[in-house]
Amino acid sequence: MEIGKILYPHVSVDCVLLGFSENEFKVLLTHIDDREIEKTRKLPGSLIYKNEDLDEAAQRILTESTGVKKVALKQFKCFGSPKRTENEKDVKWLEKTTDVKADRIITVAYLSLCKLNTRLLALEKNQTVSWCSIDELPNLPFDHEQIVVEAIREVRNWVDQDNSIVFEFLPAKFTALDLRRVYEAIYNKVYDVRNFKKKMKSLEYIVPLEEKQQNVAHRAAQYFRFDRVKYNKLHSSLNY
């Protein structure tokens, strides 16, 4: 957190940053590493500044924890139960790190998706963050577990509204299998290879590349890329 700005101690923003690797979603957790408090992890998040917009705060938090500047970011729910700060350990940590006397805090949760490239994976080496499989979440402070659960549900919702965000999970070039695995994870079902490929072929904005995989222990797969411009042309509309 930057110094010299005044915190607004009643509202925080928490970010669920999801990546996809090894056929499952991973969520970014930051480490709380304080000698007086038992080692634990939490969602990246912070109190907002007195004059900071919520979207700005979410962007700031993501940048602080990953270095990423521009990402698709979606506010998905506000969590405001008075009970969310009833665990003393959580509050103690909060007051220690922020120097703020916290009674009740409403938090606004954001969802963001990313490709787990080498740079983002390398963040783990600093030991300040880790990518945690959503099936093996540790105990999290406050209501962060609930926030993650609702975020996963929200991914599907988001894709329903805008297919193009699935490509946030993928690198610039990807194979049909890569895309299929993402869809299978999101909708929790398996897709027929041929039907899936046929569907891909019918979508102009999924552009096949000449390039193929190299050094794979099987027939090399073709790469594709997502064409944002073509996508936007197809989905621009005067209705809403």
Partner DNA sequence: GCAAAAGTGTTCCCTGTACACCCATGC
Partner DNA sequence: GCATGGGTGTACAGGGAACACTTTTGC
Told to check if 161 binds DNA by CB under 7 A, we report: no
> Could you give the CA distance from residue 172 to residue 71 in angstroms, rounded to a whole number?
15
Residue 21, classified by CB atoms within 10 Å of its CB into exposed (0-12), middle (13-18) or buried (19+), is middle
**Closest by Cα among 190, 199, 200 to 222:** 200
Compute the least distance from the CB of residue 240 to DNA, in Å. 18
Compute the least distance from the CB of residue 78 to its own copies, in Å. 4
> Could you give the CA distance from residue 105 to residue 81 in angstroms, rounded to a whole number?
9
Length of the chain: 240
**Site string (178-217) toward DNA, x via CB under 7 A:** --------------xxxx-xxx--x---------x-xxxx
Q: How many angstroms separate the Cα of 24 from the Cα of each of 87, 131, 132, 233?
A: 31, 11, 10, 31
For its own copies, the binding residues (CB under 8 A) are 8, 10-11, 48, 50-54, 75, 77-78, 80-82, 104, 106, 108, 153, 157, 160-161, 188, 239-240
Answer with the entry of DNA, its own copies, none that 220 interacts with (C-beta below 5 to 8 A by kind): DNA
Q: How many helices (H) and strands (E) does the chain have?
A: 7, 10
Q: Which is nearer to its own copies, 51 or 236 (CB)?
A: 51
Told to check if 218 binds DNA by CB under 7 A, we report: yes
One-letter amino acid identity for 45? G
Q: Which is nearer to DNA, 1 or 234 (CB)?
A: 234
Answer with the entry of its own copies, DNA, none that 218 interacts with (C-beta below 5 to 8 A by kind): DNA
List contacts with DNA (CB under 7 A).
175-177, 192-195, 197-199, 202, 212, 214-222
